[in-house]
C-alpha cells in the first residue's frame, strides 16, 4: 500500500489514441489528484486526413506538425503530461506491402523499449495501461506498442537492464485496454433502438466485424461517465483524425452514461494482491 501521490502511465501508438481509448479514465484520475503521463510512441506522420473539413491543400504535407499541435491541445484538455518517444509511424500498409524502412514496427522491441524504460524510471508510475498483444486491432504500431510496454514493465525495475536510463523503478500493475467489444456495441445499439434510434454503424458492425478481434477478459471497470464530455473534447482536438459529424459521435451521451458508464480493462500483470473484479486501476495499491 502506498500513501505517496499515485501515478498512472498510458502508452499509446499514435497521437489521438490516448483520446479514443481510455481517455475518460485518464480525466477521472487527473481530477482525483493522480499524476498521469501519456507516452506516444510515434508522431502519426503517416496518418491520413480523416476529417473532410480538414482535407485542405497543404494539410497532408504538414500532417506531422499539425498532429503535434493537436496532441498538445488534447493533453491540455485531459490534464495529462505527455512525452513523445520519437519513433517513425509505420503507417498501415496493404496486404503484402512492406513496412517503411526504419519505422517503429520494424524496431527490435528490446531497443525500442529503451526510451520508455527511461520514461518509467523518471515518472515512476504505479500503473501502466496499454494495448493487448493483438494491438486491439492489427495495426503494426499498436502491436509493437504492446511489446515495448510489456518489456518496459518487466525491465524498468531491474538495475542490470538498460543502464544509463535512470534509477530502477518497478511498476506494480499492467493493464490492457478493452474497447469496442461486441457486448459494448450491442448494449449501445439496443439502447438506441429502445429510443427509436439506430446507430449509423449498425449495418457495418456485424459478427464479421468482430472476427479475429481479441477476446479479452474484463477484470476492471472504471466508472468515468462524468468525464465522457472531456473525452469527446479531447478526441475532437485531433481534428485531422476525427469527423465531429461522423458515426462515432452518434450515440446520445446520456444514453451511453446509462447503458455503459465505464471504461474497461484486463489486468495483465500485478505485483500486488487484488480482488477481481475491480473498479479501480489502483486497487491493492492505495
- According to DSSP, the β-strands at 220-223 and 262-270 are antiparallel
Structurally, how many domains does the chain consist of?
Answer: 1
238 annotated as belonging to a binding site for a ligand: no
Q: What is the pLDDT of residue 143?
A: 96
Residue for cell digits 499492467?
174
Residue for cell digits 514496427?
105
Q: Is the pLDDT of residue 204 over 90?
A: no
Residues 6+ apart with CB under 8 A from 185: 199, 201, 205
Q: Domain containing 70 — which CATH number?
A: 3.40.50.10320
Tens digits of residue pLDDT in 146-184: 999 999 999 999 999 999 999 999 999 999 999 989 999
142 annotated as belonging to a binding site for a ligand: yes
Residue 95's pLDDT band (cuts 50, 70, 90): confident
Residue 198 lies in a domain: no
Question: 174: domain range?
Answer: 7-181+216-270
Tens digits of residue pLDDT in 206-247: 777 777 677 899 999 999 999 999 999 999 999 999 999 998
Average confidence (pLDDT) over 101-117: 96
Residue 97's pLDDT band (cuts 50, 70, 90): confident
As a whole number of Å, the CA-based R_g of the chain is: 19
Q: What is the pLDDT of residue 203?
A: 85
Compute the distance between CA of residue 71 and CA of residue 33 in angstroms, rounded to an integer: 22
Residue 199 lies in a domain: no
Residues 6+ apart with CB under 8 A from 184: 260, 264
Residue 23 lies in a domain: yes
The interaxial angle of helices 228-237 and 23-31, nearest 10 deg, is 120
Residue 151 lies in a domain: yes
DSSP letter string, the chain: ---SPPEEEEEESSTTHHHHSSHHHHHHHHHTT-EEEEEEEE--TT-----GGG--TTTTTTHHHHHHHHHHHHHHHHT-EEEEEEEPP---PPTTPPPPTT-GGGS-HHHHTHHHHHHHHHH--SEEEE--TT-SSS-HHHHHHHHHHHHHHHHTT-TTSSTTS-S----SEEEEEE-S-HHHHHHHHHHHHHTT---TTTTTSSGGGGTT---PPP-EEEE-GGGHHHHHHHHHHSTTT--TTSGGG-S-HHHHHHH--EEEEEEEEESS---SSBS-TTTTT-
Residue pair 80/30 in contact by the 8 Å Cβ criterion: yes
Mean pLDDT of the chain: 95
Residue 193 lies in a domain: no
CA 98 vs. chain centroid, Å, equals 25
Residue pair 99/140 in contact by the 8 Å Cβ criterion: yes
Compute the distance between CA of residue 162 and CA of residue 180 in angstroms, rounded to an integer: 36
Residue 85 lies in a domain: yes
Residue 49's pLDDT band (cuts 50, 70, 90): very high
Residue 211 lies in a domain: no
Residue 283 lies in a domain: no
CA 119 vs. chain centroid, Å, equals 17
Q: What's the whole-model pTM score?
A: 0.96
Tens digits of residue pLDDT in 2-19: 667 999 999 999 999 999
Supply 191's cell numbers: 439502447
Residues 6+ apart with CB under 8 A from 170: 156, 157, 271
14 annotated as belonging to a binding site for a ligand: yes
Q: How many CB atoms lie within 10 A of CB 5?
A: 10
Amino acid at each position: 500500500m502506498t500513501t505517496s501521490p499515485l501515478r498512472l502511465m498510458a502508452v499509446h501508438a499514435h497521437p489521438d489514441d490516448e483520446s479514443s481509448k481510455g481517455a475518460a479514465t485518464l480525466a477521472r484520475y487527473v481530477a482525483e489528484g493522480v499524476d498521469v503521463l501519456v507516452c506516444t510512441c510515434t508522431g502519426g506522420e503517416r496518418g491520413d486526413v480523416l476529417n473532410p473539413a480538414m482535407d485542405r491543400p497543404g494539410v497532408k504535407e504538414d500532417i506531422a506538425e499539425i498532429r503535434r499541435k493537436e496532441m498538445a491541445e488534447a493533453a491540455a484538455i485531459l490534464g495529462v503530461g505527455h512525452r513523445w518517444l520519437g519513433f517513425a509511424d509505420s503507417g498501415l500498409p496493404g496486404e503484402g506491402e512492406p513496412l517503411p524502412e526504419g519505422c517503429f514496427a520494424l524496431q527490435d522491441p528490446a531497443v525500442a523499449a529503451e526510451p520508455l524504460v527511461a520514461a518509467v524510471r523518471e515518472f515512476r508510475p504505479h500503473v501502466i495501461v496499454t494495448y493487448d498483444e493483438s494491438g486491439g486491432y492489427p495495426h503494426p504500431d499498436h502491436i509493437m506498442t504492446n511489446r515495448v510496454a510489456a518489456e518496459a514493465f518487466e525491465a524498468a525495475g531491474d538495475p542490470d537492464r538498460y543502464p544509463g536510463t535512470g534509477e530502477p523503478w518497478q511498476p506494480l500493475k499492467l493493464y490492457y485496454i478493452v474497447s469496442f467489444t461486441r457486448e459494448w456495441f450491442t448494449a449501445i445499439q439496443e439502447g438506441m433502438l429502445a429510443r427509436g434510434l439506430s446507430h449509423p454503424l449498425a449495418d457495418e458492425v456485424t459478427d464479421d466485424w468482430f472476427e479475429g478481434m481479441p477476446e479479452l477478459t474484463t477484470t476492471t471497470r472504471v466508472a468515468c461517465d462524468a468525464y465522457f464530455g472531456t473525452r469527446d473534447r479531447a478526441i475532437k482536438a485531433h481534428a485531422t483524425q476525427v469527423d465531429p459529424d461522423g458515426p462515432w459521435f452518434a450515440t446520445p451521451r446520456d444514453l451511453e452514461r446509462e447503458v455503459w458508464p465505464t471504461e474497461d480493462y484486463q489486468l495483465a500483470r500485478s505485483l500486488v494482491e487484488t480482488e477481481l473484479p475491480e473498479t479501480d486501476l489502483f486497487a491493492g495499491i492505495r
